[in-house]
Structure 1
Amino acid sequence: MTKKQNKNRLAIHMAIALVCGLVTGSLFLMLRENLLAGGNADLWATINKILFQDISAEGATDAIGIFYILGQLFLNSMQLVIVPMVFTSIALAMCRISDTKTLGRLSYKTIAGFLATSFFALILAGVVGLFANKLGVFNVSIDNITAQTGTTGSNPLLILVKAIPNNIASVFTTNGSILSIVFLAVITGLSINHLGDQISILKKLLEDVNKIITVFLTFLITKFGPFAIFVLLTRTFAIYGVEHLKPALAYVITVIVTLLVFLTVGYALFILIATRLNPMPFVKKIGKVAMFGFSTSSSAATLPLNTKTTTEELGVNEEVASFILPLGMTINMNGTAIMQVIAAIFIASSAGYDVTFGSISLIAILALIASIGTPAAPGAGAVILFTVLSGMGYQNDAALLAYSLILAINRPVEMLVTALNVVGDSATAVVVAKSENCLNEEAYFQEIK
C-alpha cells in the first residue's frame, strides 16, 4: 500500500471513529438521562463504574472505568514525549537554519501570523459577545450550583517572567512549562548553530531522539488513533449530563457558532489573503487534524499528526514546520482566546457587571496574554479563565457560580477550541512557508485519492 493510500485510509478511519464516537456517546447520554428520570440511578451508577468512571477520583476505589483507562493510556502515551519532542524539533530547526537573517525573518513572520489571526479572532469574539449581551441572551438565572474558586488569580504578565526558567531540571520534569522548553530549545539550537562543527555529538543525539519520537508517534497515531478517538468521544458524551446545560445554553451555542465560523471561514480567508492560493486543499487536508484535536482536546497530543500532515500533504518545508508548529502549540491559542472572551462576557453579564466596549477590550487583552500560557492539555483553557476573571475583578458570588457552570459544561466546547488552535498553527506554517518560497505547491494542490 502506498503512502498516499495510507494517508487516505487514516483519514477515513478517523472520520468513521468520530461519527461512531458521537453516536455511541449520544446513546449513552440518552440512556443516562432515561435511567435517572426513571428512578434507576443505581443502574446508571453501575454502568458508569464499569465503563466511564475516572478511577483516580476520590471514592472510586471499586470502579473499573474501562473507557477511562483506555483513553488515559493513549493520552499518556502521546503526552509522554511532549517535552523531548518540542525541545528536539525546535533545537534542530535552529541548527538547520544557517542564515541568521533567515531565522530572524522566519521568527518575525511567524509571530506576525499568530498575532494577525489572534487579532481577528478576538475582534470576532468581542463583537459576538457584545451583541449577545445587548440582546439579553446572557441574562440567565443560575441556581443549584456549588460555587468554586478555581485557581488562584495572578497577574497574566507572570507568564512572560516564567518563560525563562531559573531551574532547568524542573522544566524538563513537567508538561506545564512548554514555554520555558521553547526558550531553552531556541537558545540551545542557536548556540549549536553558532559553534558549527565544534558541536557534533549533541546535535546527533538530538537528531536520533527526534527520529525515535517520530517513529513512536507515527505508530501510535496510525494504529491506535481512530480507536482512541472513539473511546474518548464516547466517554465524554456519556458522562456529560444535561442538568447544567439549560442555564448555559446561550453561552454554549454562542461560543460554538463563533468557533465554527472562524474554523471554517477565518483560516480559509487567512490562507487566501496571505498566499493568494486556493484554500480548499488546505481545508480538505487539515480536516483529520481538526478531528484528532477535537477528539483528544489536546494540542500537544495532536502535534505529531499536525506536523506529518503539514509537511507531507500541505507541502510545508520541514524546517519551517518544525519551528512554527511546536511554537504555535505553545502561544497560538486563537480558539482558547475566543472561548475566554465570550465566557468572561457571559460571566460578567450573569453576575451583574457592566459590559462595555472598554471592558471587552480589556478582557480581550487579558485573554490573549492568558491563552499564551495555557497548557496544551484537556480542560486547561477553562481553568486559566479564572486569571482573566481575576484581572477584571469579576469575583463576586454570582461570578463564581457562573464560573463553576463554565467548568461543568465546557468540555465539549474545549474540544472544538483545540481543533481551532491546531488548524491555526498549520495555517500560519503554510503562509510563512509560501512567503519564504519553501512551500511545495505541487504537494499542496495534490489530491489525496
Structure 2
Amino acid sequence: MTLPQEIIRRKRDGAALSSDEIADVVDGLTTGAMTEGQIAAFAMAVFLNGMTRDEAVALTLAMRDSGTVLDWSDLPGPVTDKHSTGGVGDNVSLMLAPIVAACGAFVPMISGRGLGHTGGTLDKMDSIPGYTSQPDTALFRRTVREAGCAIIGQTADLAPADKRFYAIRDITGTVESIPLITASILSKKLAAGLGSLVLDVKAGNGAFMARKRDARKLATSLVAVAEGAGLSTTALVTGMNQPLAPAAGNALEVAVAADFLTGRARPRRLTDVTVALASEMLYASGVAGNTREATERALDALETGRAAEVFERMVHALGGPADFLAGHADHLPKARATLAVTAEAEGYVQAIETRRIGIAVVELGGGRRRPEDTIDHAVGLAELAPLGTKVARGDPLAIVHAQTPAAAEAAAATVRAAYTLGEARPKPDKAVIRRVTADG
C-alpha cells in the first residue's frame, strides 16, 4: 500500500494516479487509515488538478466496491433511477420516483442530505413523521418490490467510502470538483444495482455549476464515466436561475410535492422538469419505446392518481402515515413564526440570486453549517415569486417560516436582497436546457 502522503503529493503535482493508488485512497477512506486532514488534502489536490476519465472511473468503481452492491434481478421489471446535482427548491425526486414506478419500472432511489446551500432529498423525507429514511436492506428491498419505489439514504454498507468523503468535501471548499462530484454520484448509483440512470445537472446562480458550459462539462463527465463503468446513462441540463419549486425548506417542499401529486397545484416549471426526467427514465429503462410515448405515460400516471397511490404506499411501507397525502398539513412540522417578504417597489421580478435563497434556509436552521448539525425541518421559505412575476409595492415575494420573529426578520432581509425588480418583463427562463448522451 502506498503511503497516503505520497499519493497526495503525486496528485498535488499533477500526476495521473494508477487504479491501485486510487484503491489505496478508497481503502483509507473506508477503514479510517487516512486522517480527515489527509482526505481534505487529497480532495483539494483533485479539485486543483482534476482527474482523467480513467482515474474517475477507477475512483467510482473503488467507492462502489467499498460496500455492498445490490442485485435486483429478481424484480419483474427494469430498475432505473435519477440523480440531481442539487439546487434550491428541487423536490423533483418526490414526484418523479412514484410517477416512474406507476408506469412499471422499479426505482430504488438512494438520495443524499443537503450539501452547501442546496437542499437534500433525504432531509425532505425526514420531515414525514415515522418515515424510515435509512432502512435495513430487507425493508428497502421489500418496499421497492411492493410499492415500486423507495426513497432512502445511504445505508452503512452502500458505498461507505463516499459517505465519509462527502461529509469532508462539504466543509473544505471542494464540493465543485467535477471528478469528485462524478465519483460521488455514480458510486452510489452503481452500488444500487441500476440498469439505467438519468441525471439532472443544474446550471445557474443557484447551482454548484453556475455557467451552462460548466454544467454541460459535468453532464458529459458523468455520462462518460457512467458508461465507462458499465451503466447506461443520459443527462438533462436544467436551469437553476430561480428556485424550482415555489418553496425552499424541507417540510415546505414536501407539501408542494403532496399538492403536485394530488393535482391541487402543479407549477409549470416544476412540471416541465419532472415530466422531462420521467420521460427520459421510462425511455432509458425500456418501459416506453420513444420519448413521446414516455411523456404520455408519465402524464397519465399523474392525472389518474396512480403516482399519488405509489407515493402513499411507499411512505406507509417505510413507517409514515397511511393517509399522508390527504392529511399532510396536519402531519408535517410547522414553524412558530411566519413573515411576508414584501416588495419595496412596483415591477417585474427580473432576477433572483438563488444561492441567497438557499443560504437563507440554512441560516434559518433548514440546512447544515457542519456535517453533525441537526436540521429543523419546519423552517424555510414558501410562496416564492418566480421570475417574470409582476408585483406592486407591498406585495409578497415570499413567506418566511421561522422559529423566532428575529430569525424571520433576518431571513426576510436576505430574501429581499436576493430579488431584483425592474420595469421590463424578463425573457422566459428555460427549464430544460440540453440533453447529453454518450454520443455527445
TM-score of the pair, normalised by structure 1: 0.22
Which structure's residues are more often helix, by fraction? 1
Structure with the greater relative contact order (CA < 8 A, sep ≥ 6): 1 or 2? Answer: 1
Taking structure 2 as the reference length, the TM-score comes to 0.23
